[in-house]
Every structure is written in structure tokens, then in C-alpha cells.
Chains A and B, each alone.
Chain A
Amino acid sequence: MEPILRGVNLVKRYGRVTALDHCNFELYPGEILAVIGDNGAGKSSLIKAVSGATIPDEGEVYLEGKRVHFQSPLDARHAGIETVYQTLAMSPALSIADNMFMGRELRKPGFMGSVLRRLDRPEMERIAREKLTELGLMTIQNINQAVETLSGGQRQGVAVARAAAFGSKVIILDEPTAALGVKESRRVLELILDVKARGIPIVLISHNMPHVFEVADRIHIHRLGKRLCVINPKDHSMSDAVALMTGAKEPEEQHAA
């Protein structure tokens, strides 16, 4: 099977630090790929390189077999890749609906929209409410409340809902459960499985081993700026994964999965 998203020989240097060192990456259709690694292993750099947030110094990125050159996150988004960043990338003073539709606002039909450029607020609010309801976040009563008045978990929920609503090819989640309580984490994990059931592959970056082992089909272990190995969560235990990740154990064979 051909990978839907593939990175080959990616290199990214920040001054004298090499964050990505000839790293490869593959995501197959319909799967959940977890990316785990120690702090500073270069997970975020990898994700930024394939999502257009940074431009790799060397290497190629392929989407559905075609070489792509993302110059900005907007390019990646147009190609159907949605990313939920650890920082959530939301404007605190703007409303939930405004944030969900940032950069892809809907305009009113007809004269009001094409000439006066008026936003179609009711429609955007309707869709935003619908997406949040799907995620079980409807305790947010007011879709027009500013994002900064939400709790950390609710903000995370909005960010995930935004990605799930618009990602058509790939969804990348950077630490989606890090700021969440047990119940809210569960919601997000359910949502991840939901999205997978719709056939959209997901890249999940997480430190939470139980969560990773619960939902992932394959686990990409990142160490010292490159892929150490890919394991199948069914064949390995969490302690194996942690041992590999920290270098306490060598991978038995390359590409175990």
C-alpha cells in the first residue's frame, strides 16, 4: 500500500542543533500512527516539517505519492492536512466560531457576500455548534463566547473539533490530551477513533503511553532526530516502547511492524 503522507530524508537544523537528522516518515491510509519520543527528540520538528509550519532544509515530502512543497500551514491546509498544535493556535479574544473558521470564513450568498464581503455568521455558528455537539462539547452554551473564557479542556476540544471538521486527508494531533482531564481525554480518544472510522488517517503525538497503546495501529519511535523504529502496539509492551524511546533498549529489527 502506498503511504498517504511520506517524508524522506528530512533534515532541519536550527543553528548548530540538528532537530531532524535524515528522518523518514510514513503514514498509511486509514491508520492511526502514534509518534513518541523523548523531549527534544524532534517530534515537533518532524510534524512541523510535514505540516508546512517549517520548511525542511533537505528532504522531500510526498502527499498521495505526489511531491509537495508546503511554504506555510495554509498550503498544507489547502492540501487537506489539518494540524492541532500544542499551543492550539487560537486567538484568545475571538469567539469560538471565529476561531473555527479562521482563514476559511464563509461569506453570505449573493450581493452581501460578494460585494460587501459580509460574513455568514449564522451559518458558521450553526456548523461550529454542530461540530462541537459531535464532540460532546455542547456544555459550551454560547458559541460566541471568547476562547479565553473557556477552560483548558474546552479550548482543546474546540481545536480538535476544528481539525476534525475540516481535515480531508490527514489530521495531525500534537499532544491532544496533555491538558485534559480523564473524562475529556476519553472524549478526544473517542473522537480520534471516530475520525479514523471515517477513513481519515491520523498522526498522534503523545506522551501518554496508555492512550497511545489504546488507539494507535503503529507506533513510530523517534530518537535523536530520526526514526528509530516502528513497532506494533500488539506485539510490544509499554515498557518496551519506553525503553526504546530512551535508548535503554536497541530495536530487535528495523521496521518491526
Chain B
Amino acid sequence: MSEGSANSQDYETVVKAGTAEKVAEFGGGPVSALKRIQHMLHKAPSMVPLIVLVMSIVIFGILLGSKFFSPFALTLILQQVAIVGIVGAAQSLVILTAGIDLSVGAIMVLSSVVMGQFAFRYGIPVEVAVGCGLLCGVLCGYINGWLVAVMKLPPFIVTLGMWQIVLATNFLYSANETIRSQDIDSQAPLLHFFGRTLSIGADEAGRGGATFTYGVIFMVCLVLLLAYVLRETAWGRHVYAVGDDPEAAELSGVQIRKVLISVYVLSGLICAFAGWVLIGRIGSVSPTSGQLSNIESITAVVIGGISLFGGRGSILGMLFGALIVGVFTLGLRLLGADAQWTYLLIGVLIIAAVAVDQWIRKVSV
């Protein structure tokens, strides 16, 4: 009964005989401009926030003139978004793995409180105290990561719980005590490290000109470093793969647990650095500061075009998103508009950003 195999080929002999070299071809027909834009955005999703950012700077520049379009005002925006940008970098990493980190703000504040209290309450050398603060962030991140990766709990629930736990720990440990700016300056100036400034073109009294705090420089370097790591290293590719389709990533040889834990640990560490920058920004160590960081960081990430479903977007987009919020906030304030207009416009931007994300996803369909 060997004719089975012979018969089976009959209907395919045609194909075999005239095997064309081309298996499938892409239609070379006219591609509409809209489709082309869609494809371009699919490749470079941070283009949308960049365009919005440039447009908003131009519009406010026209409306306000030199009041807005000065080195001083523009670098002021950078200073105002430094914290959100750093925390947003941590948030971006987690969201790229299809998670969410609601505890970023709390970890940031607890870390800053640990740095301050260790130095002042126990008299530990300030360098060590800062190290302990960073370690505190790492530890919180590790707990998040372990619960998500090993216990397989949803990130939303884990970090919602950690948010409350860490925040309560923060208040209990600090006894709601603020460390004053003057004390820090006289006894532990290292805590103000990120508050130091680098001025270019200021007058003698230190007014005007471009002013960069070390915190701003740190934010930009951090985002560029992470952008490199995410694009150019295996670990970065794995972060995207895990967020995209965890089962596929695991089957094709990614160690999901390790990747997830490392992401949450890194996120915790970045938040701790944000805590250090926060001390420099507000001057004192205050357990009640930074309460809005969670929502602001998620806003920056979403406006920056990073998909909340994971695996898509770039960290540069997050930075653009944070800057857009900063530009709107300062621009509208200089225009004398009610602050609520800022929130209203940001709300519109969030929804528009997600709509664009959904549209980009349909690129192949």
C-alpha cells in the first residue's frame, strides 16, 4: 500500500515543477499617507509625544514670547519635571513588562526619609545613610518583584498593597518628623547633592540664564542610559519580550522570573535615587512630600506612548510625556489660566495617547 505517499504528492506536483522563487510578496500598490504614518509610528512610537512637545513649545512660545521662550523658563520646566522624569523611568520599566507600579511614590519618600533619619537620628556618616536609603529602595523593589514573579500575583494588587505598607512604614518610622533644610546644609550637605546647580549665562545676582540642577542632569543621563540598555542589550530585549507575550518569551528561552525581579529591583533603586533628588529639590526631608508621584509618573508614561499592555514604547517617549506636562503646567500658569485647565488638557492628552496606541497596534491587520 505504498501508493499512499505517491498519491499524496499529485496535487502538489504543479507547485514543485514550477517552483517560483517567491513565496509571498507584499503588494507594491499605492500606500496611503495615513498608512505610512501608521507604519512609521509603529517603528518609532516616541514620535507622537515628541511632535506634541515641539508643537506645544512653539505655541506657548508664540503666545508668551520671551517670557516663556527664555533659557530660564525652559530650564525651570526641566527642574520641575526632574522628579517625575526619574520616577517615570522606573514606572516605564515596570509598565514595559505589562505591569504597573503604584508604590513608586511611596518607595521614593521612604528612601528619602531613611537617608535623612539615618544621618540625623543615628548619626551615621551621610554617605552610608544615602547607601542605606538606596538599599531600602532596592529591598522594596525586590519584595514587589518576588511577589509578582514568584507568587504570580497581579502587579496592580501587589504594588497597591506595597504602596499602603511602605507609606505607613514611612509615617510610623519618621514619626511625621521633617528634617529642616538648614540642618541638612550644616550637617549633611551630601543630601542636597542633586539640588546643586549649574548655571549658564546667569547675571551676577544669579538670575536668568539656563539653570540645570544636578537632579536634571541625572534624570537626562538616566533616561539615556536606560534607552541604551533597553535597545542595545539582551536584557532590554527580554524586558520587551516579557511584556509582549510572557508565554512566548518563556518558550523561546527568556528567564521570565529573573527578568521581572530585576525590573522591579531596578525600579525600586531608581525610586530611591528619586528620593535623594527630592531632598535636593524641596530642601528638607519630609515624609508627606511626593504624594502625587504615582499618578504623575503613570501620566508621563501614558502620554509618552508606552503601552499599558506592555512590550511597546520607548523610555524617551516617557521623558517627552513628562516634559509635555511640564510645558503645559508652566505655560498655562504664565498665561494666567486657572490651574484646572492644565488638568483638563492633560486628561485629554492621556485619552488621545491611548487611542493612538490602539491605532498603531492595528498596523498589520
A interface residue numbers (CB < 8 A to B): 53, 72-74, 77, 83, 85, 87-94, 98-99, 102-105, 107, 116-119, 121, 136-137, 139, 141, 146, 148-151, 153-154, 157, 182-184, 186-187, 209-211, 213-214, 233-238, 240
Contacts and interface: CB of A to CB of B under 8 A. Distances in A.
Contacts of B254: 102-103
Contact of A213 (B4, B240, B249): B4
Contact of A91 (B7, B234, B240): B240
Given A91-B241, A139-B22, A102 B253 contact: yes
A154 B240 CA distance: 22
B255 A74 contact: yes
A213 to B, nearest CB: 5
A151 B23 CA distance: 11
A160 B136 CA distance: 46
Given A149-B363, A153-B24, A236-B1, A94 B233 contact: no
Contact of A154 (B5, B24, B244, B248): B24
A100 to B, nearest CB: 9
Nearest to B255: A74
Interface of B: 1-5, 7-9, 11-12, 15-16, 19-26, 42, 229, 232-235, 237-238, 240-241, 244-245, 247-255, 311-312, 363-364
B228 to A, nearest CB: 8
Given A117-B234, A182-B12, A213-B8, 17 more contacts: A72-B255, A87-B247, A89-B248, A92-B311, A93-B312, A94-B244, A103-B252, A107-B234, A117-B235, A119-B232, A148-B363, A183-B20, A184-B23, A186-B15, A213-B4, A238-B4, A240-B1
B234 A105 contact: yes
B252 A99 contact: yes
A183 B15 contact: yes
Report the 4 A-B pairs with minimum CB-CB distance, sorted nearest first: A103-B253, A210-B8, A89-B251, A105-B234
A119 B237 contact: yes
B25 A139 contact: yes
Contacts of B15: 182-183, 186
Contacts of A233: 4-5
A97 to B, nearest CB: 10
A102 B253 CA distance: 7
Contacts of B312: 93
Nearest to A89: B251
Given A102-B237, A117-B233, A72 B248 contact: no
A252 to B, nearest CB: 13
A136 B248 contact: no
B23 A91 contact: no
20 contacts: A73-B251, A74-B253, A89-B248, A92-B244, A92-B245, A94-B237, A94-B240, A98-B241, A118-B233, A139-B22, A141-B26, A149-B363, A149-B364, A184-B24, A186-B15, A210-B5, A210-B7, A211-B8, A213-B8, A238-B8
A73 B244 contact: no
A40 to B, nearest CB: 20
A58 B7 CA distance: 42
Contact of B248 (A91, A141, A237): A91
Contacts of B363: 148-149
Residue among B20, B237, B255 with the highest chain A CB neighbour number at 10 A: B237
Given A89-B252, A184-B23, A118 B364 contact: no
B251 A53 contact: yes
Given A103-B254, A117-B233, A118-B232, A137 B23 contact: yes
Contact of A136 (B23, B234, B250, B364): B23
A237 B1 contact: yes
A201 B20 CA distance: 28
A183 B23 CA distance: 7
Contacts of A236: 1, 4
Contacts of B24: 139, 151, 153-154, 184
B336 to A, nearest CB: 44
Nearest to B43: A146
Contacts of B7: 210
A30 B30 CA distance: 49
A94 B241 contact: yes
A116 B234 CA distance: 11
A165 B214 CA distance: 49
Contacts of A210: 5, 7-9
A49 to B, nearest CB: 14
A150 B364 CA distance: 8
Contacts of A150: 364
A34 to B, nearest CB: 12
A189 to B, nearest CB: 9
Contacts of A107: 234
Contacts of B5: 210, 213-214, 233-234
Contacts of B364: 146, 148-150
Contacts of A119: 232-234, 237
B8 to A, nearest CB: 3
B1 A77 contact: no
Contacts of A74: 253, 255
